[in-house]
Amino acid sequence: FKGGKKQALQFLVGQVMKLSKGKANPAMAGEAIAKAIAEG
How many CB atoms are located within 10 Å of the residue 13 CB?
A: 21
Task: State which amino acid sits at residue 34.
Answer: A
How far apart are the C-alpha atoms of 13 and 19, rounded to whole Å?
10
pLDDT for 11 equals: 94
pLDDT for 4 equals: 63
Global pTM value: 0.77
pLDDT for 26 equals: 96
Q: What is the pLDDT of residues 1-40, one digit of tens each?
A: 556 678 899 999 999 999 999 999 999 999 999 999 889 8
